[in-house]
Amino acid sequence: MFHWVFRGYFYEFLCLLLLTLSMVFFWYAISLIASRDYPGSLLLLGAGLSIAHLGGLMARLALADRS
């Protein structure tokens, strides 16, 4: 019934969640580099970058939905 009210907040929350999750992936990738696990850190870096890209797309969607 009131889905149009919460839709913008949902996209903003999802964007914040995805960007925070990508920071966790980056932090864990750096910790793997410190322990010299280079292939694992590259995989986590790729996953973090793709999640950050998805978070950016959700931020764009939240801004477009607001106007």
What distance in Å separates the CA atoms of residue 49 and residue 36, rounded to the nearest whole number? 20
Q: What is the pLDDT of residues 35-48, one digit of tens each?
A: 999 999 999 999 99
Domain segments of the chain: what residues? 19-66
> pTM of the predicted model, to two decimals?
0.79
Q: What is the CA radius of gyration of the chain?
A: 15
Helix (H), strand (E) at residue 28: helix 3-34
Do 44 and 29 meet the contact criterion of CB atoms below 8 Å apart?
Answer: yes
For residue 52, pLDDT beyond 90: yes
Helix (H), strand (E) at residue 62: helix 38-66
